[in-house]
Amino acid sequence: MARTSLHPDVAEVLISQARIRRRIAALAREIARCYGHAEVSIIGVLNGSMVFLGELLRQLPMQTRLDSVVARSYGARTTSNGRVSIRRPWHLSLRRKHVLLVDDILDTGRTLRRICERIRRENPASLRTCVLLDKPSRRVVPFTADFVGFTIPDKFVVGYGLDFAERYRNLPYIAVLRRGI
């Protein structure tokens, strides 16, 4: 078997691939219990949710519809500042649908709050949120996700879809980068 070598820019692996996989399987079971046989319209926040959602989606047993949204926050490089804009909205009609919004990480809460506000305007039957990671200590606006993979401390992390300047999304674990990258 090939030896898994760490990416040279990585200082520390916070969550291993095996743990992430087990947790995503458990999340899929939680979500399945919540919705039963109802159809769920899943909206992935691009690009960060791609890797997580790809794995989660394949384990969901109910009927699903899939769409995505692109949101951008302005200013800072590793954190989002106050302004979040929806750059590319979803295309599906969400009226009277059960909507599950999926993102990689819940940080200040501004991104998901903004997208949730927009989705509610379409009068969905229900709206829930699911994130792989949650950093509650960083919250600026009150926001609680319905399904959370892992609660993590206030560290900037990459991997499993999470990026630093669009890099490292392909790392198969959640990691902290070395200083000065």
Alpha-carbon torsion, ordered 74, 75, 80, 81, to 10 deg: -90
Q: CA triplet 143, 147, 152: central angle to 5 degrees? A: 70
- Check binding of 161 to Mg ion (CB under 5 A): no
Q: CB of residue 155 vs ligand IMP: minimum separation in angstroms?
A: 7
**Residues of span 40-59 touching Mg ion by CB under 5 A:** 48
Query: What is d(CA 93, CA 123) in angstroms, rounded to the nearest whole number?
Result: 10
Query: Cα(32)–Cα(104) distance, rounded to whole angstroms?
Result: 19
Q: Is 48 in the site for ligand IMP (CB under 6 A)?
A: yes
Interaction partner, residue 41 (Mg ion, ligand IMP, none; CB < 5-8 Å by kind): none
Residue 134 as a binder of ligand IMP (CB under 6 A): the answer is no
Based on CB atoms, which residue is closest to Mg ion, 35 or 52? 52
Using CB under 6 A as the binding rule, whether residue 157 contacts ligand IMP is answered as yes
Q: What residues act catalytically?
A: 107
CA angle 88, 85, 123 (to 5 degrees): 70
Residues near ligand IMP, by CB under 6 A: 45, 48, 73, 80, 103-111, 156-158, 162-163
